């Protein structure tokens, strides 16, 4: 008897891209695996992912804290109510965080950080549920979902709505990979994802061309409607960005392009595959070498991946996201070589790098062994470095009592050094 693959023993499809076929057809390589997953199996994996997310930062459940602009969103929701939803920040709208803040005002201030954390986690798990659904045209869906919650540069992304835009942007990428929805619920969910993802950051501007290409290729009414909708949200965000509404002061300083390979090496090399190593190994020479190797490796994986649609979407998205991140951080590129700096900008490229490895794992090429080994290293490395450092406990119950009493106050938020001022309410 031949050796049974790990994913077959676990009743999982082998990792890689799956052809778009009716759910009742069983791929040749998956003869011993049911053609469809029962809902309880998907629910089992979703529960496991939720436990893994909570394990990464248990204190977010035990002692919820605001992160960065969470406090600002909450204070403005208290002061302005629903009007705050259309208030731009950093040059564009933040629909998701604003709606979460408005929801939090319906509860006692004591529960506000917990509401923010719950909304952020629910959005993350909703994207994972979409990946685990039968619509996702890949085999080994749990491995794809696992990458979403296991990537190292998620410390700034999880358990807060300030960086909810990155999770929603991942949802937009997933939509590009999915076939067109057949049910009303799926259509409604896709529309909501495009609206919230498009109006919660600048990603509608970045991804509008992707949806336009999809519409041109498919020539269907639904794909065209999605392209128009994402373009409309991009136009709204573009208007705010062009007019500088709510923009933060422009950074100044030299642009040190020599730091680009090292930044790639830090995040797509060291952090993705060996985040457990001590900081002493993060020398510029090592990081630059890892960056060159990471770019070369991505090129090989892109060529080895048989699924052309997944390849061009993920490959183009990684390149576009890295280019936009480096432009955004152009005045402090050397700081990206330091662990913990700019993590959110690499959250999506790290996920998509892992996805490309999964797609290449069944490519039929000689290097599929290397792809499987690298993905295994990715999983092992990030399990070894699973736990995030806890938030600083700033005694939110004390500050909540001040807000409840209607007094002018200020409260600190994570990361340390940020403070949110709360004026006294108008009488």
Which phi and psi angles does 80 have, rounded to 5°? -110, -15
Task: Note whether 297 and 168 are same-domain residues.
Answer: no
Q: Annotate 102-132 with b (16+ C-beta within 10 A) or e (fewer).
A: bbbbeeebeebbbbbbbbbbebbbbbbbbbb
Q: What are phi and psi for residue 8, nearest 5 degrees?
A: -70, -40
Residues 204 and 329 in one domain: no
pLDDT at 305: 64
At residue 423 the predicted structure's pLDDT band, cuts being 50, 70 and 90, is confident
Nearest to 286 by CA among 345, 155, 344, 294: 294
Judgement on whether residues 315 and 201 belong to the same structural domain of the protein: no
Q: Are residues 148 and 67 in the same domain?
A: yes
Q: How far apart are CA 275 and CA 87, in angstroms?
A: 38
On whether residue 340 sits in a domain, the answer given is yes
In terms of domains, do 283 and 213 share one? no
Q: What are phi and psi of 58, to 5 degrees?
A: -65, -30
**Residue 391 and residue 379 share a domain:** no
- The answer to whether residue 4 is domain-embedded is no
Q: With cut-offs at 50, 70 and 90, classify the pLDDT of residue 33.
A: very low
Supply 323's token pair: 């280019």
Give the alpha-carbon dihedral of 154, 312, 189, 167, to 10 degrees: 10
Record the tokens describing residue 290, joined without a space.
């890892």
Domain that holds residue 199: 38-248+387-417
pLDDT digits (tens, 9 = 90+) for 62-118: 899 999 999 999 999 999 999 999 999 999 999 999 999 999 999 999 999 999 999
Does residue 422 lie within any of the structural domains? no
pTM score: 0.88
Check whether 306 has a pLDDT greater than 80.
no
Residue 69, both tokens? 């602009």
DSSP state of 11: T
What is the count of structural domains for the chain?
Answer: 2
Q: Is residue 111 part of a domain?
A: yes
| Cα 262 from Cα 291, distance rounded (Å) | 6
| Contact present, 355 and 369 (Cβ < 8 Å) | no
Residue 30 pLDDT > 70: no
User: Is the pLDDT reported for residue 181 higher than 60?
Assistant: yes
- Least confident interval from 15-29, 139-153, 217-231: 15-29
Indicate whether 205 and 112 sit together in one domain: yes
The answer to whether residue 334 is domain-embedded is: yes
Please tell me whether residues 94 and 236 are part of one structural domain. Answer: yes
Same domain, 102 and 241: yes
Q: How far is CA 3 from CA 22, 255, 290, in A?
A: 29, 54, 34
Q: Note the pLDDT of residue 279.
A: 84
Same domain for 364 and 410, yes or no, is no
Establish if 7 belongs to a structural domain. no
Nearest Cα to 115, choosing from 75, 167, 61?
Answer: 61
Please check whether residues 288 and 369 belong to one and the same domain. yes
Average pLDDT over residues 312-322: 94
Sequence-ordered alpha helix ranges (H) in 243-283: 260-264, 271-274
Q: Please, what is the Cα angle at 121 between 115 and 122, to 5 degrees?
A: 85
**Per-residue confidence at 28, pLDDT binned at 50, 70, 90?**
very low
In a domain, 16, yes or no: no
Residue 259, domain member (yes or no): yes
| Residue 139 host element (H or E) | strand 138-139
Do residues 228 and 280 share a domain? no
């Amino acid at each position: 008897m031949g050796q049974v693959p790990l994913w077959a023993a676990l009743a999982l499809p082998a990792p890689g891209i799956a052809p778009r076929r009716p759910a009742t057809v069983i791929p040749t390589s998956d003869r011993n695996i049911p053609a469809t997953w029962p809902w309880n199996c998907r629910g089992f994996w979703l529960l496991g992912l939720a436990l893994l997310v909570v394990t990464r930062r248990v204190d977010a459940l035990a002692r919820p804290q605001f992160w960065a602009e969470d406090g600002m969103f909450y204070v403005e929701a208290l002061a302005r109510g629903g009007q705050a939803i259309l208030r731009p920040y950093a040059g564009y709208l933040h629909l998701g965080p604003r709606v979460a803040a408005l929801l939090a005002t319906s509860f006692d201030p004591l529960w506000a950080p917990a509401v923010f954390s719950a909304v952020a986690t629910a959005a993350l798990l909703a994207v994972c549920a979409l990946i685990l659904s039968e619509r996702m045209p890949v085999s080994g869906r749990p491995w794809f979902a696992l990458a979403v919650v296991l990537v190292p540069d998620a410390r700034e992304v999880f358990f807060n709505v300030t960086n909810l835009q990155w999770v929603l942007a991942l949802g937009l990428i997933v939509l590009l990979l999915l076939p067109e929805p057949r049910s009303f619920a799926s259509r409604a969910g896709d529309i909501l994802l495009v609206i919230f993802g498009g109006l919660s950051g600048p990603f509608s501007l970045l991804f509008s061309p992707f949806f336009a290409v999809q519409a041109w290729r498919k020539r269907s009414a639904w794909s065209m409607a999605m392209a128009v909708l994402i373009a409309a949200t991009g136009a709204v965000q573009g208007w705010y960005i062009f007019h500088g509404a709510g923009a933060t002061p422009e950074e100044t300083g030299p642009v040190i392009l020599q730091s680009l390979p090292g930044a790639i090496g830090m995040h797509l090399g060291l952090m993705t595959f060996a985040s457990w190593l001590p900081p002493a190994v993060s020398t510029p020479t090592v990081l630059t070498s890892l960056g060159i190797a990471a770019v070369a490796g991505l090129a090989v994986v892109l060529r080895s991946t048989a699924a052309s649609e997944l390849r061009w979407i993920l490959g183009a998205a990684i390149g576009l996201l890295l280019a936009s991140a480096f432009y955004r951080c152009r005045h402090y590129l050397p700081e990206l070589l330091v662990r913990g700096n700019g993590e959110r900008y690499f959250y999506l490229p790290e996920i998509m790098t892992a996805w490309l490895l999964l797609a290449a794992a069944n490519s039929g090429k000689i290097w599929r062994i290397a792809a499987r080994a690298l993905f295994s290293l990715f999983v092992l490395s990030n399990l070894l470095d699973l736990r995030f450092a806890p938030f600083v406990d700033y005694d939110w119950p004390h500050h909540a009592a001040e807000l409840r009493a209607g007094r002018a106050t200020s409260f600190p938020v994570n990361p340390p050094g940020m403070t949110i001022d709360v004026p006294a309410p108008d009488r």
